[in-house]
Structures are given as C-alpha cells and as structure tokens.
Amino acid sequence: MKPIKLPEPPPSPRRIIGGGGGGGVPDIFEGGVHGVVRRAVVIGNGFSSSENQSIGLVKALGLYNHHTIYRVTRPRGGINEWLLCLPVSIHQKLYYILRRIYLFSQLLLSRKGQQITSIPNENGGGVGLASILEADVRNIVRMARESFEKEGPLLVIASGRDTISVASSIKRLASDNVFVVQIQHPRSHLERFDLVITPQHDYYPLSPQAQEQVPRVLRKWITPQTPPDKNVILTMGALHQLDSTALRSAAITWHDEFAPLPKPILVVSIGGPTRYCRYGTDLARQLTTSLHSVLESCGSVRISFSRRTPEKVRNVIKKEFGTELKIHIWSGEGPNPHMGNLAWADAFIVTADSVSMLSEACSTGKPVYVIGSERCTWKFMDFHKNLREKGVVRPFTGLEDMSESWSYPPLNDTAEAANQVQKALAERGWKIRV
C-alpha cells in the first residue's frame, strides 16, 4: 500500500501585535479591529451530523478555540414527535400552549383528589444540553453589537433546517456587525445569508432527469427553483473536522490497538435507512455474503454501526461474524474507534445512506467501496453518481481483492469552503486573525 499524501489544513491566521515579528501589517493599518474577525458563533440543532459541519468549518478557518456553540432545541417526546415537520418557532409555541393546557388539566384533577401524572420531559432528559447555550436571537444580536467596537465582527455559522430562522434573523438585525454562513441549502431566499454552503446534489431538482420525475403541477413546490447564485459555495459532500493533522493525532492515539493488526485493515461503516435510501436486513445479508467473499484478502476487518443502524440489521451482522477471528465488531462501549478507523484503515466499505461517513472516508484518499447505492433515489442517487464520476468510490461487489490498492485526489471540501469564506470576507474588507 503506497502512502496517500493528504491536503494540509489551512494555517491558522497569526495575530500581528504592534507590527513586530513575522512581518505583516498591524491591525491598525488594516482597518483596525472593525475589519478583523477573531471569533465565531456556531448555531447548532442538536444533531452531530449538522454541528460537525459547522465546527469543521470553524476549525478550517483557524477559529476552533475562539468559538461559542449555541443550540436551537425542539421539545422532544410524546406528541412532539408528530410536530417535527413544523418550523421550530411554531413547534415551540404550540408546545408551550399544549403544556399550559396539560398543567391546567392536572391542576383540576388535583382539586378533585385524583392522582397527578408527571409532566413529560420536553427534551428527552436534556442529555448534554446543560453546557450549551440556547440560541436566542436577541442575545446574540446584542452581543454582536455591543462587542463590535472592542472585538470586531462576529462570524456566525449555522447548519440544519432548524437554524435557518435564527441565522437569518441575526443577519437581518445586525448586518453591519456579523457575517452569516448557512450550511445546507435553506430552500428559499438565499439573500438572507452572506454565504450558503451546500452539496452539488441539493440542486438535483433543477436537472432534466429530476424534472421528468415530478408532475408539472407540483414542480413549483420543489426547491430549489433557481440555479446557485454568487453567494453559494458548492461542495461534493458534507463538511467535517477531518484533516491531516486530525488523522496524524488519531494514528498516535490508536497506535497500540491498530498497529499490531494484520494488514490490510478493512473498515466497514454501517449507517441506517433514510428517506432517499431505504433498506433493511436484505442489505445486511448482501453485505455479509460479499464480505465473506473478500475475507481471504483481508488481514483484519473492523465493523462499526451508527446510531441510526436498526437493531435487526445489527443482529444479522453480529450473528454472521460474531465468532470470526479476523473481524472485530465494536460493541458501542468504551471509546469510539471512529477516528482510529479513519487513520489506520487501508480500505473502507460504507453503506450508501450516509453522506457524512462517505465524505470523511473519501477525504483520506484510500479505497472506498459503497454498498446499497442502487437503492438510493432522488438527490442521493445524484450524489453517488457524482462520486463515481470523480473516481473516489467504487461499488462493493464481493469480487474485490482488498490487498490491491487504488487512490484518487482526496475530497477537500472543508478546506476549499474555508478558502471561499475568506475570499468573501476580504470582499467586505474583513479578514480573520486570532
């Protein structure tokens, strides 16, 4: 296996103090503090797949230790699971009304001597939320305005549907003090943001193939409806935190566990069915059959499931390979080996449902095989077509020799998006320095 040279992460911007050392120009001659971005705010939605993209961009911009995370939270549990299709602001208000009605009914019951039932927890226990600030538009706008004279502009990075209204409101109320980047397509009114970063396949609905699939009377309801404007940055896949520095660190951290393993190491990442990529135990059985066929050419196999993997799919895999000496199935207990897998793998097999898992694997430059892409529809089908045409993935058929390697220029979406953000800031007369 020949080593793959990964793209280096962009260097962290250096702070120039008093014009001394390292050349450069002091801030005072570059528009003062008003033109220098030193901090960022991340607006999250509680889903790691979305928040990981925002944090990855912050990291690529050199602001990783200078950011604050805020989160838009939806009520969870009970009737709330039926309200997830609503905009988050309407959902929160409706839940507030329902909760007041519930409390009032319980009060009436208590007066009649009947037992009061406990009030459902609106956030499913709120695990991990204690240290995350609620994304309150007024507070963030106030902070951006009041600290502008001393600390300069605020970079706001948001990702996910539930963050759209918050991020756009911050832009509307503090446009002179903030630069707002929305990751993932907001579907309409892109002018509400300074930049939008989204995968190419989000524009699949505009293609002739997609138009043929949609009845004419429904086409005006399918978004997006216009081609990408100049404030749109297109990527191949999802942004993430992986770069050469992160991989080197993971290789050191996981050395004792992975270094003794027989080579080549094959990592199998299994996700779960989605709206546009449906499957069940049928795909699990296809995977086990094909994996048996290539097992002889593997030194070691590491299998990991995601949180979305159905139990019945897990059971098929565990029953088939639970006693196989070459194969290790992560139980979900102890440290997550995800970064170790990415650093030490010689090749990957990834289920077709996860744009995030595929984007990370394809950023290593190592062979990536995909299983289940023929089951994907709509824009996911276009995503896999783009990956195959770029030569970064191949279908997993069970006929492969895993001891034979192949390579490609690694996907570098996060660093490329960060460069575009820096250019957009420069057009506004701003630059990042920490």
- Please write the tens of the pLDDT for every residue from 253-291: 999 999 999 999 999 999 999 999 999 999 999 999 999
Lowest pLDDT segment from 129-133, 190-194, 214-218, 350-354: 129-133
Residues 80-105: pLDDT tens digits? Answer: 777 777 777 687 777 668 777 867 77
310 SS3 class: coil
Predicted confidence at residue 131, as pLDDT, reads 56
Q: Identify whether the C-beta of residue 413 lies closer than 8 Å to the C-beta of residue 235.
A: yes
Is the pLDDT at 26 greater than 60? The verdict is no
Helices 311-321 and 281-294: angle between axes, nearest 10 degrees: 30
Distance separating alpha carbons of residues 315 and 317, to the nearest angstrom: 5
Average pLDDT over residues 58-64: 97
Least confident interval from 63-67, 90-94, 108-112, 355-359: 108-112
Residue 358, pLDDT > 50, answer yes
Contact between 349 and 286 under an 8 Å Cβ cutoff? The reply is: no
**Count of beta carbons in the 10 Å neighbourhood of residue 121:** 12
Tokens of 428: 């506004």
pLDDT at 86: 73
What is the CATH number assigned to the segment(s) 244-410?
Answer: 3.40.50.2000
Q: What percent of the chain has pLDDT over 70?
A: 86
pLDDT of res. 219:
85
Q: How confident is the model at residue 373 (pLDDT cuts 50, 70, 90)?
A: very high
Alpha carbon distances (Å) from 89 to 44, 61, 84, 97, 410: 15, 31, 11, 13, 40
pLDDT, tens digit, for every residue of 159-186?
A: 999 999 999 999 999 999 999 999 999 9
The three-class DSSP label of residue 277 is strand
* 244-410 and 27-73+129-236+414-432 share a CATH fold: yes
Task: Kindly list the domain boundaries of the chain, sorted by start residue.
Answer: 27-73+129-236+414-432, 244-410
Beta carbons of 42 and 67 less than 8 angstroms apart: yes
Q: What is the pLDDT of residue 85?
A: 76
Which range of 16-20, 216-220, 296-300 scores highest in mean pLDDT? It is 296-300
**Where does the pLDDT of residue 124 fall: very low under 50, low under 70, confident under 90, or very high at 90 and above?**
very low
Q: How far apart are CA 302 and CA 262, in angstroms?
A: 12
Q: How far apart are CA 398 and CA 291, in angstroms?
A: 6
Q: Is the pLDDT of residue 28 over 70?
A: no
Say whether pLDDT at 107 is over 90: no
- Fold classification of 27-73+129-236+414-432 is Rossmann fold (3.40.50)
pLDDT surpassing 50 at residue 384: yes
Residue 20 reports pLDDT greater than 50: no
pLDDT beyond 90 at 308? yes
Phi-psi region of 160 (alpha: psi -120 to 50; beta: other; left: phi over 0): left
Poorest-pLDDT segment among 115-119, 167-171, 184-188, 193-197: 115-119
Q: Interhelix angle for 355-362 vs 378-390, to 10°?
A: 10
Tell me the C-alpha distance between 19 and 2, whole Å: 45
Band (336; pLDDT cuts 50, 70, 90): very high
Tell me what pLDDT residue 10 has: 55
The residue written with tokens 């990834």 in the block is 350
Which residues, 6 or more positions from 70, have their beta carbon under 8 angstroms from its beta carbon? 41, 42, 43, 44, 132, 133, 134, 135, 136, 140
d(Cα 410, Cα 364) in Å, to the nearest integer?
6
Q: What's the pLDDT score for residue 227?
A: 95
CA quadruple 220, 238, 419, 247: dihedral, nearest 10? 180
Residue 128 clears pLDDT 60, i.e. is over it: no
Binning pLDDT at 50, 70 and 90, where does residue 11 land? low
Give the pLDDT band (50/70/90) at residue 78: confident
Query: Is 299's pLDDT higher than 60?
Result: yes
pLDDT tens per residue across span 389-400: 999 999 999 999
Percent of the chain predicted with pLDDT > 90: 74
Which range among 51-65, 208-222, 340-354 shows the weakest confidence by mean pLDDT? 208-222
Q: What is the pTM of this model?
A: 0.86
Nearest residue to 417 via CA among 242, 246, 245, 238:
238
Closest listed residue to residue 429, CA positions, set 11, 27, 67: 27
The set of residues, in sequence order, having a beta carbon less than 8 Å from that of 159 and lying 6+ positions away, is 43, 44, 45, 50, 51, 53, 54, 182, 183, 184
Mean pLDDT, rounded, for 115-127:
44
Q: How much is the pLDDT for 237?
A: 98
